[in-house]
Structure 1
Amino acid sequence: MASDSKTYLFEEVAEHNKTKDCWLIISGKVYDVTSFMDDHPGGDEVLLAATGKDATNDFEDVGHSDSAREIMEKYYIGEIDSSTIPLKRTYIPPQQTPYNSDKTQFVIKIMQFLVPILILALAFAVRNFTKRD
């Protein structure tokens, strides 16, 4: 690694997210893995999925070997300005409509009115159409 490494902004690194131009952020370092895309044992899709974010967890979760870590060194191009990495987004579930909303209450009242009438109509129809003369 060069001692006078360049520092990149997150937005700049995130733009390199294609098979022919792929950069990754791992452990605060920036790697240009474009020339490694065809050789990566997991395929280029794995590398592309790690673009546009801090891929440290993705890299560590796989459990790369020491030799894989050595290979990484030749793709090192600089450091990431950590202050430009966006904070992780927290999942906010959509607001749920309460079960007994006004619309639900209206439908329930209509059903309470119609169901008995429909049952009576059905009983009347069965009685009249099944009479024996």
Structure 2
Amino acid sequence: MSGDGRVFTLGEVSKHSSNQDCWIVIDGKVYDVTKFLDDHPGGDDVILTSTGKDATDDFEDVGHSSTAKAMLDEYYVGDIDSSTVPTKTKFVPPPPPKQTESNQKQSSELVIKILQFLVPLLILGLALGIRSYTKTPSS
């Protein structure tokens, strides 16, 4: 590693975003990967889309091998000033809406209305079933 303890801002790193001069940030370290662009198995576009930002997630999501991670050492030029990198915000889903008393009241009223309709139908069906079962056949 030959970074000489240099610290770069994200703005400085962002200026190196072409296929003639390409720097990326991974895990707080800055790498000049210009010489590697032509050899990258995924093509240079994959790397170029990760310039100007913290590319750690992009790098990790692909599942690079330990060999690929070790290769980074030869491209190391310094560290990133973490205060210049925007903080990552994690998505936190909103809590489910709480049922208000009116919603609970409406739900229980709906159940009561359904039962008021079904119970008489069940009684009628039961009465007809008993009548037809106990009816004596006429001769």
Range into which the TM-score falls when normalised by the shorter chain: 0.5 to 0.7
Q: Which amino acid aligns with 2:24?
A: L
Q: Which amino acid aligns with 1:54?
A: D
Amino acid paired to 2:73: E
Alignment of structure 1 residues 8-87 onto 2, 5 Å: 8-87=8-87
Residue 105 of structure 1 is matched in structure 2 by none
Hey, what does 2:94 align to over in structure 1?
A: none
Q: Residues 79-130 of structure 1: CA distance to partner in whole angstroms, max 9, x if unpaired?
A: 000001134589xxxxxxxxxxxxxxxxxxxxxxxxxxxxxxxxxxxxxxxx
Judged with a 3 Å threshold, the aligned counterparts in structure 2 of structure 1 residues 81 and 44 are, in CA distance, closer, same or farther, namely same
Q: How many residues align?
A: 90
Higher Cα Rg, which structure: 2
Distance (whole Å) between structure 1 residues aligned to residue 59 and residue 10 of structure 2:
18
From the superposition, tell whether residues 43 and 87 of structure 1 become closer, same or farther in structure 2 (CA, over 3 Å).
Answer: same
SS of the aligned residue for 1:41 comes to coil
SS in 1 for 2:83: helix
Unmatched tracts of structure 2, length 5 or more: 91-139
Give me the CA root mean square deviation.
1.7
Q: 8 Å contact 2:3–2:77 — kept in the other structure?
A: no
1: CA distance, partners of 2:4 / 2:37: 26
2-structure distance, mates of 1:8, 1:23: 11
Deviations 1:42-79 (CA, angstroms, capped at 9, x unpaired): 10000000001000000000010011011111000000
In 2, Cα distance between the equivalents of 1:32 and 1:61? 20
Identity %: 57
How high is the TM-score relative to the length of structure 2? Answer: 0.61
Return the alpha-carbon distance in structure 1 between the equivalents of residues 24 and 54 of structure 2.
8
In structure 1, the gaps of 5 or more residues are 91-133
